[in-house]
Amino acid sequence: MLQAGRLIEKKGWQTTMRAFARFRKEFPAARLTIAGDGPQLEKLQSLARELQIDGAVDFAGFVSQEELRELFYSSQIFLHPSETGRDGNQEGVPNSMLEAMASGLPVFATRHGGIPEAIENKVSGILVNERDHRALADALIETAKSPDRLRVMGRVASESVAKNLNQTEQTRLLEEIYLREIGR
């Protein structure tokens, strides 16, 4: 499993760690790579020790785009359980999530900000409510028991990004809206 991003509250890192701890009870060989750096690093390392998963969590720190691409291709699942920060800060559509989808990784994320615009639940990824590590763990466990489902979800995610989120298609759709609005 992989999650990448800045180690800040709105990225849902604690939800990831708690869900992963539950997941490991069913899949004890599972590993989690956390790619990123930020102010929550020590807190997350401490939480990993508290949850007794520190031996299964790799804090990779900041990684280059090339290293991130390699992590995408060597992982089976991408996590991005974003949440609204205490200051009200929210995500749009996270770039790392779109990159993971484009590389064919199934994404497990939250119904937060712009994320549901990119993920069709149970089709191109899985969506759970914010801060619900139990629901995230349950979804991970259920889906991981069906490797074919993971592969199909990853393929659909990649196709979805290619079709719906590329710049040419977005420009065409915007032009369509403009022309319709001006009456052409």
As a CATH number, domain 2-181 is: 3.40.50.2000
pLDDT for position 148: 96
Name the nearest CA neighbour of 155 among 178, 125, 112.
125
pLDDT at 14: 97
- DSSP category for residue 86: T
Query: Tokens in use for 51?
Result: 């949850």
Compute the distance between CA of residue 97 and CA of residue 176 in angstroms, rounded to an integer.
27
**pTM > 0.85: yes or no:** yes
Q: Kindly list the domain boundaries of the chain, sorted by start residue.
A: 2-181
Averaged in consecutive runs of 10 residues, what is the pLDDT profile of the chain (184 residues)? 97 98 98 98 99 99 96 97 92 92 97 94 97 99 95 96 72 74 75
